[in-house]
């Protein structure tokens, strides 16, 4: 008797601990009612300082908190006035004069003046700050010399405040894409008084970016930053275009795991996700197509060849390897989210530029080339090693390519999986034969892809160097007229697609889930969605 009572009692305890359900309103329902947007943002941002951070995660936050001279239209990404209300080009594209709007204000009410930009760009170039994006400012006259410590006097650098509302900019060379850069975080202004209150201008990681300290000039201001939990920004009433801002708050969650993020979306905890697991694409395509947003992204997935050592120093071998993979198979059977097979290095239709040079899939020709290189039927071809960084998708693509090379060329490949930092180290020291790589363009111009492979390029890990290519890229930097410039870049890309230090595989897509409550969110190639233009309306 006693035992039975005991047993029942214990079982009851087990059940009550596991089965207490709680009713709650979802974030999405509550957020839509109060104009609070809940966004998955990938990871904890390293910092919120626009002159220290480089990633997309941080950019999304900077974009909410700060504004550059120019901004972008949320749909077609065309440049629009930001802090500058108008601008004028002069001296054959070498100088610009910006007129700042009178009502541009910092979130503490101070006016945004031309001197703020001079201070901010100087800060971005101070060597001790350790700004990885300092090179983005090298287009300014003498900026590179200043950053490298060759000149100490910042007055020699090509930026000057003529008065509070007029900013003069002088460039090293005419750069037709210069205006694009002004919408990039590396050119964003910071509030001088705030920076100096918390440390020297070139001190890394001071407390100025903390809630309560942060002063910005964007449509939103920083309200809360709970490490690894969330970041909350709220509407900035001092913003010059505050009337256009519909959202009261944006809440950013650092969710790394795409599966978790998808679950949170499904349970109504997020309006917008940062990513989508591969295996869920099909489900959303069939069941909830209105929430699925897939769009080509300004980024290429490719393999690089170490051209310094045999057999990959032979151009015919590289051509044979490039020609013998079926990219369509890879995008249709493996990546499956609508990625575009890439037959050249730059993504299609980059600000009016689409590469004419194309690599093809031609196994027959590939075998001939390999035979010409001295390996008929893959005979005597040494085993080569293909390195990729840890990721299920990279692994599957590598296996597919390994197969294709085996079947089409009878070439044997071993796979080498490395953790991220080891992979970077091996690439950098050219301790590899074939390696997986990816590149995201910094701004909408093909040059941000093509200047990767100049001989002196810090990101050219292939050992490949071509004088004509270097000349073309250098010459293109001096030409203003877009058509002539693009003709030079076409020629350069044709060289790249013949020499093939790089084997393009596919163009990435951005993948997000977006609640139908969200208005004003438009897919675009940079995957940039200014929160300024977003609003929330219940969808049912």
Partner 1 sequence: MVKFILKRLLQAIPVLVTVTIITFLLIHAAPGGPFDEEKAVPPEVLKHLNERYKLDQPIHVQFYDYLKNALQGDLGPSFKYPGRSVNEIIAAGFPVTFELGCYALLFALLIGVGSGIIASLQPNTCQDYVPMAFATMGICLPSYVLGPLLVLLFGIWLEWLPVAGWELTPGDKLLPSITLGSVYAAYIARLSRGGMIETLSRDFIRTARAKGMPESIIIFRHALRVGLLPVVSFLGPALAGLLTGSFVVETIFQIPGLGRYFVQGAFNRDYTLILGVTLLLASLIVLFNLIADVMIAWLDPKVRHETING
458 is a contact residue toward partner 1 (CB under 8 A):
yes
287 is a contact residue toward partner 1 (CB under 8 A):
no
Question: Whose Cβ is closer to partner 1: residue 14's or residue 383's?
Answer: 14
Question: Whose Cβ is closer to partner 1: residue 21's or residue 92's?
Answer: 21
Enumerate residues 382-441 that contact partner 1 by CB under 8 A: 419-426, 428, 438
Enumerate residues 40-79 that contact partner 1 by CB under 8 A: 44, 46-47, 49, 52, 54
260 is a contact residue toward partner 1 (CB under 8 A):
yes
Phi, psi of 32 (to 5 degrees): -65, -40
Q: How far apart are CA 81 and CA 367, in angstroms?
A: 55
DSSP state of 312: T
13 is a contact residue toward partner 1 (CB under 8 A):
yes
Kindly tell me the burial class for residue 19, based on how many C-beta atoms sit within 10 Å of its own C-beta (0-12, 13-18, 19 or more): exposed
Neighbours of 435 (CB within 10 A): 24
Residue 233 host element (H or E): strand 230-235
197 is a contact residue toward partner 1 (CB under 8 A):
no
Enumerate helices (H) and strands (E) in the chain, giving the number of each: 17, 18
204 is a contact residue toward partner 1 (CB under 8 A):
yes
Cβ proximity of 128 and 163 under 8 Å: no
Question: 280: closest CA among 260, 299, 300, 295?
Answer: 260
Q: Which one of 170, 266, 395, 430 is in contact with partner 1 (CB under 8 A)? A: 266
263 is a contact residue toward partner 1 (CB under 8 A):
yes
459 is a contact residue toward partner 1 (CB under 8 A):
yes
Q: Which one of 90, 205, 382, 516 is in contact with partner 1 (CB under 8 A)? A: 205
Phi, psi of 71 (to 5 degrees): -135, -175
> Please, what is the minimum distance in Å from the beta carbon of residue 105 to partner 1?
25
> Please, what is the minimum distance in Å from the beta carbon of residue 67 to partner 1?
22
22 is a contact residue toward partner 1 (CB under 8 A):
yes
* Residue matched to tokens 């490039």: 322
Interaction mask 238-257, partner 1, x per CB under 8 A: ---------------x-xxx
Question: 507: closest CA among 275, 294, 237?
Answer: 294
Q: Which one of 34, 73, 156, 207 is in contact with partner 1 (CB under 8 A)? A: 207
10 is a contact residue toward partner 1 (CB under 8 A):
yes
Secondary structure (DSSP) of 16-51: HHH--------HHHHHHHHTEEEEE-SS--S-S-TT
Q: How far apart are CA 7 and CA 316, in angstroms?
A: 77
> Please, what is the minimum distance in Å from the beta carbon of residue 252 to partner 1?
13
Question: Whose Cβ is closer to partner 1: residue 75's or residue 279's?
Answer: 279
DSSP state of 385: E
Residue 84 host element (H or E): strand 84-90
> Please, what is the minimum distance in Å from the beta carbon of residue 151 to partner 1?
14
227 is a contact residue toward partner 1 (CB under 8 A):
yes
Enumerate residues 106-165 that contact partner 1 by CB under 8 A: 127-132, 134-135, 147-149
3-class state of residue 258 by DSSP: helix
Question: 249: closest CA among 274, 224, 214, 217?
Answer: 224
Kindly tell me the burial class for residue 72, based on how many C-beta atoms sit within 10 Å of its own C-beta (0-12, 13-18, 19 or more): buried
Which listed range, 199-207, 342-350, 357-365, 403-411, lies at the site for partner 1 (CB under 8 A)? 199-207
18 is a contact residue toward partner 1 (CB under 8 A):
yes
User: Within 13 Å of residue 71, how many CA atoms lie on the same side as its CB?
Assistant: 25
Number of residues interacting with partner 1: please give it, by CB under 8 A.
67
> Please, what is the minimum distance in Å from the beta carbon of residue 524 to partner 1?
22
Max Cα–Cα distance, the chain, nearest Å: 100
Q: How far apart are CA 376 and CA 300, in angstroms?
A: 32
> Please, what is the minimum distance in Å from the beta carbon of residue 211 to partner 1?
12
> Please, what is the minimum distance in Å from the beta carbon of residue 255 to partner 1?
5
Q: How far apart are CA 379 and CA 371, in angstroms?
A: 9
15 is a contact residue toward partner 1 (CB under 8 A):
no
Phi, psi of 45 (to 5 degrees): -65, 145
Question: Whose Cβ is closer to partner 1: residue 361's or residue 439's?
Answer: 439
Q: Which one of 73, 156, 197, 229 is in contact with partner 1 (CB under 8 A)? A: 229
Question: 224: closest CA among 196, 250, 186?
Answer: 250
C-alpha dihedral sign at 376, 382, 387, 391: positive
7 is a contact residue toward partner 1 (CB under 8 A):
yes
> Please, what is the minimum distance in Å from the beta carbon of residue 470 to partner 1?
17
Which listed range, 16-24, 305-313, 357-365, 510-518, lies at the site for partner 1 (CB under 8 A)? 16-24
Binding site for partner 1 (CB under 8 A): 2-3, 6-7, 10-11, 13-14, 17-22, 24, 27, 44, 46-47, 49, 52, 54, 127-132, 134-135, 147-149, 204-207, 209-210, 226-230, 253, 255-257, 259-260, 263-264, 266-267, 269, 419-426, 428, 438, 458-459
């Amino acid at each position: 008797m006693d035992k039975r009572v005991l047993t029942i009692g214990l079982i009851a305890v087990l059940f009550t601990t596991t089965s207490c359900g709680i009713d709650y309103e979802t974030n999405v329902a509550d957020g839509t009612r109060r104009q609070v947007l809940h966004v998955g943002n990938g990871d904890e941002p390293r910092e919120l300082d626009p002159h220290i951070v480089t990633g997309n995660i941080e950019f999304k936050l900077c974009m909410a908190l700060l504004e550059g001279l120019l901004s972008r239209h949320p749909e077609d990404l065309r440049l629009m006035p930001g802090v500058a209300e108008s601008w004028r080009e002069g001296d054959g594209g070498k100088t610009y004069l910006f007129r700042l709007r009178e009502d541009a204000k910092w979130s503490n009410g101070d006016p945004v003046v031309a001197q703020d930009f001079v201070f901010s760009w100087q800060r971005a170039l101070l060597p001790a700050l350790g700004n990885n994006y300092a090179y983005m400012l090298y287009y300014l006259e003498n900026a590179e010399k200043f950053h490298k410590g060759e000149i100490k006097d910042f007055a020699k650098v090509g930026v000057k405040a003529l008065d509070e509302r007029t900013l003069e900019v002088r460039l090293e060379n005419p750069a037709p894409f210069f205006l694009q850069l002004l919408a990039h975080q590396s050119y964003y202004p910071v509030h001088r008084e705030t920076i100096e209150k918390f440390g020297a201008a070139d001190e890394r990681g001071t407390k100025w970016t903390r809630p309560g300290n942060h002063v910005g000039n964007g449509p939103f201001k920083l309200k809360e930053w709970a490490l690894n939990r969330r970041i909350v920004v709220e509407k900035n009433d001092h913003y010059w275009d505050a009337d256009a801002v519909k959202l009261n708050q944006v809440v950013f969650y650092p969710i790394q795991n795409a599966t978790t993020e998808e679950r949170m979306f499904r349970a109504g905890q997020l309006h917008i996700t940062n990513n989508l697991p591969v295996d869920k694409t099909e489900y959303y395509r069939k069941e909830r197509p209105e929430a699925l947003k897939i769009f080509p992204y300004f980024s290429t997935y490719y393999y690089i060849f170490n051209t310094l050592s045999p057999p990959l120093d032979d151009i015919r071998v590289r051509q044979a390897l490039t020609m013998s993979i079926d990219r369509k198979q890879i995008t249709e059977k493996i990546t499956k989210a609508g990625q575009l097979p890439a037959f050249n290095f730059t993504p299609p239709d980059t600000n009016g530029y689409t590469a004419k040079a194309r690599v093809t899939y031609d196994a027959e020709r590939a075998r001939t080339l390999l035979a010409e290189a001295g390996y008929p039927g893959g005979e005597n071809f040494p085993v080569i090693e293909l390195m990729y960084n840890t990721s299920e998708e990279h692994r599957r693509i590598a296996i597919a390519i390994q197969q294709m090379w085996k079947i089409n060329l009878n070439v044997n490949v071993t796979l080498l999986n490395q953790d991220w930092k080891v992979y970077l180290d091996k690439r950098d020291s050219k301790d590899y034969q074939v390696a997986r790589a990816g590149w995201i363009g910094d701004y909408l111009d093909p040059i941000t892809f093509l200047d990767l492979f100049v001989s002196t390029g810090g990101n050219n890990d292939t050992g490949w160097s071509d004088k004509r290519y270097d000349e073309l890229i250098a010459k293109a930097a001096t030409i203003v007229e877009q058509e002539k410039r693009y003709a030079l870049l076409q020629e350069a890309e044709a060289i790249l697609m013949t020499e093939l230090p790089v084997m393009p595989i596919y163009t990435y897509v951005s993948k997000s889930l977006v609640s139908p409550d969200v208005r004003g969110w438009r897919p675009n190639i940079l995957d940039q969605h200014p929160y300024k233009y977003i609003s929330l309306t219940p969808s049912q």
